Structure 1
Amino acid sequence: MKKILFVILCGALLMLSACGSSEKKATGKEKEEKTVKIGIIQPVEHPSLDAAREGFIDALKDAGYEDGKNLKIDYQNAQGEMNNNMTIAQNLVADENDVILAIATSSAQAALQSTKDIPILFTAITDPIGAKLVSDLEKPGGNVTGTSDTHPDAIKNTITSIKEFIPEAKKVGIIYNSGESNAVVNVENAKKVLKEIGLESVEATVSTSADVKQAAESLLGRVDVLYIPKDNTVVAALESVIKVANEHKIPTFVGEGDSVKRGTFASYGIEYHDLGYSTGKMAVDILKGKKPSEIPVGFPEKLELVINKKAAEQEGITLTEDMLKDAKIVGE
């Protein structure tokens, strides 16, 4: 009898040991296969915003998070319809993403209205405080932080270069969407500098990208130069402006370097891929346990003059050595 009981006891112990081992394996496997979910919301497609998104994903990849392996990215684009931002944001919240990346102001505002629980990172934001995304740049508080694309000298340097490069210019046409809060801030700052250096601003506003060509044409004969601020609606239809500028030999200055690569003349800009990469590093910190409230808002450190040689020729601009000496040249 004792022998039988001993055999039964040994068997039971072996079964318990096997269960424990199997449980450890299952737990280990489950831990190994845990997939991080990140939702990305973007208002419209254009190179700067796309570059910021790509930089964000590259930073995650460099930290060991790869889409399709241990990372699932749900990228959704509002395709220029601002009302779609809220629907997309609500869907990303309902899907219980671990982090939401909101690219540009309208997307970030929609994301913040949709959740106070899921960490939100923004990028390509002109004025995070003015947009009511954070109350303090050093200590954002709440569930949101990120990176702004506003270098303190970008607008001033670009506007000042209008006077330097086109000394005969007197009136500057500005095309923007007055419904985009980021664009309004940029335009107000540009107008201050224009006034300081003795140039007059002439505004043409749009509501959608379909209005951009007509707005550009409305400025013909009224301005000497065009300035396109960081405005998602206008930049999404930038080729319309370029076509009008080339046909009528009007120099075009813009709010970011990616628009120069597309065929405008000049800008003091930043690399949006770098901006997105910095935001991606913030996401890695959050995935490792840091709270958004503990991460200060980031700003671009580098600013460079970008000039498009081909655009200069098409817009009737004579390039000088002084213009080119400190510039990054594209369009050759």
Structure 2
Amino acid sequence: MTKEHPTGAKLPRIGMLLAGDRSYPSFAAFCEGLGALGYAEGQTFAMEARFSAGQLDRLPVLAEELVATEVDVIAVIGAVTLQAVRRATSDIPIVFTVVLDPVSAGLVSDVQQPGGNVTGVTNFDPAQAMTQIKILKQTLPNLARLAILGDAGVPDTLPNLYTAEAEAAGLHPQVVLLRGVEDIEGAFEAFRGEGAHALLSLEVPRTSTHGRKITELAVSARLPTMFGRDLARYEPLLAYGTSLAAAARQMAGMVDRILKGAKPGDIPIECVTQPELIANLTVARRIGITIPPKVLALADEVIG
């Protein structure tokens, strides 16, 4: 049911900033979340969305653009995006998602009482890295050398976490951080040079934006690849984690509360962890491996 808006009244303006592009599932999920709450773009609210398409250096400019449009609230995805918007405004309410640990990162003071103009939803699951590596080891019993692909433009929290978990699992990790799409082929050359047995691609802006190229190169190299749950659309061998779309839909609920008068600093930060495993048998056949039945039995979805 669409919310009614008084004729002639100014429509509330919702801003959104993403480090990815318009095809990013979290953008659609956020819009769906607003729709489920009765919002209709152009009828009950106006949307101002900006996308950096993996070019993180554009985020500060896009954040300034959003602030200049005088939006009533800004929704952001990712810590680096949140930081850009926070530098642009200390007044406009900001709602975030896909921020691992906002307290440790110094983005908020307390999860129950964030304070200031920021609140949001974290999807951080401290067990995700360990579980992804465990699934890879179950799939590839001889796994010893694990390539880890990340993003040089964001904090090194994830690469450090995955490196530690790989070492704890008895693996030799090889971390490459992308500075742009031009680095991807060089990364695969480095993986081949080190004799990587599998690739774990982290859920960060550049790997998310260029996921299709990464999986195409992985198939060509016959390199088994694990992505996060929402990047299953790029057809890696395996995808595991919490759907970022679920967090984005929950973020829409926080935006609704703020538009109704709630102060962001008084809204406790919420956590969403709903992990799913997707296995792609078509890719398995193309790269010449067999996904063991015990791994397929864990899968929420099997493709091919």
Which TM bucket (shorter chain)?
A: over 0.9
Distance 1:302 1:215 in 2: 31
1:287 aligned to 2:259? yes
Distance 2:91 2:19 in 1: 22
**1:70 partner amino acid:** T
Distance 2:112 2:134 in 1: 30
Describe the superposition over 1:219-242 as per-residue Cα deviations: whole angstroms up to 9, x where unpaired: 114211111111211221122222
Which of 34, 37, 43 aligns to 2:10? It is 34
Distance 1:31 1:143 in 2: 30
Question: What are the residue-to-residue correspondences of 1:132-151 with 2, within 5 Å?
Answer: 132-151=106-125
**2:276 partner amino acid:** E
TM-score (norm 2): 0.92
Instruction: Give yes or no for contact 1:102–1:121 (8 Å, CA) kept in 2.
Output: yes
Unpaired stretches in structure 2, ≥5 consecutive residues: none
1:84 aligned to 2:73? no
**2:48 partner amino acid:** D
1:68 aligned to 2:68? no
Per the alignment, residue 177 of structure 1 pairs with 151
Instruction: Give yes or no for contact 2:124–2:273 (8 Å, CA) kept in 1.
Output: no
Evaluate the alpha carbon distance shift between residue 164 and residue 260 of structure 1 in structure 2; reply closer, same or farther with a 3 A threshold. Answer: same
State the 1:307 CA deviation: 1.2
Instruction: Give yes or no for contact 2:77–2:99 (8 Å, CA) kept in 1.
Output: yes
3-state DSSP class of the match of 1:100?
strand
3-state DSSP class of the match of 1:219?
helix
Per the alignment, residue 212 of structure 2 pairs with 239
Distance 1:325 1:246 in 2: 24
State the 1:125 CA deviation: 1.9
State the 1:308 CA deviation: 1.5
Per the alignment, residue 266 of structure 1 pairs with 238
Percent identity between matched residues is 26
Instruction: Give yes or no for contact 2:135–2:295 (8 Å, CA) kept in 1.
Output: no
Instruction: Give yes or no for contact 1:148–1:300 (8 Å, CA) kept in 2.
Output: yes
3-state DSSP class of the match of 2:271?
coil
Instruction: Give yes or no for contact 1:44–1:78 (8 Å, CA) kept in 2.
Output: yes
Which of 153, 156, 164 aligns to 2:130? It is 156
State the 1:75 CA deviation: 0.7
Which of 168, 180, 193 aligns to 1:208? It is 180
Evaluate the alpha carbon distance shift between residue 148 and residue 186 of structure 1 in structure 2; reply closer, same or farther with a 3 A threshold. Answer: same
Which of 1, 6, 19 aligns to 1:43? It is 19
Farther-moved stretch of structure 1 (262-271 vs 110-119): 262-271
**2:149 partner amino acid:** I
Instruction: Give yes or no for contact 1:109–1:131 (8 Å, CA) kept in 2.
Output: no
1:218 aligned to 2:190? yes
Bigger radius of gyration:
1
Per the alignment, residue 227 of structure 1 pairs with 200
Distance 2:37 2:212 in 1: 37
TM-score (norm 1): 0.85
3-state DSSP class of the match of 2:174?
strand
State the 1:273 CA deviation: 2.0
**Greater helix proportion:** 1
State the 1:41 CA deviation: 0.8
Per the alignment, residue 198 of structure 1 pairs with 170
Unpaired stretches in structure 1, ≥5 consecutive residues: 1-28
Farther-moved stretch of structure 1 (263-272 vs 72-81): 263-272
1:188 aligned to 2:164? no
Distance 2:214 2:192 in 1: 11
Instruction: Give yes or no for contact 1:39–1:75 (8 Å, CA) kept in 2.
Output: yes
3-state DSSP class of the match of 1:122?
strand
Q: How many residues align?
A: 299
Per the alignment, residue 79 of structure 2 pairs with 105
Evaluate the alpha carbon distance shift between residue 172 and residue 85 of structure 1 in structure 2; reply closer, same or farther with a 3 A threshold. Answer: same
Which of 41, 58, 61 aligns to 2:32? It is 58
3-state DSSP class of the match of 1:142?
coil
State the 1:170 CA deviation: 0.7
3-state DSSP class of the match of 2:56?
coil
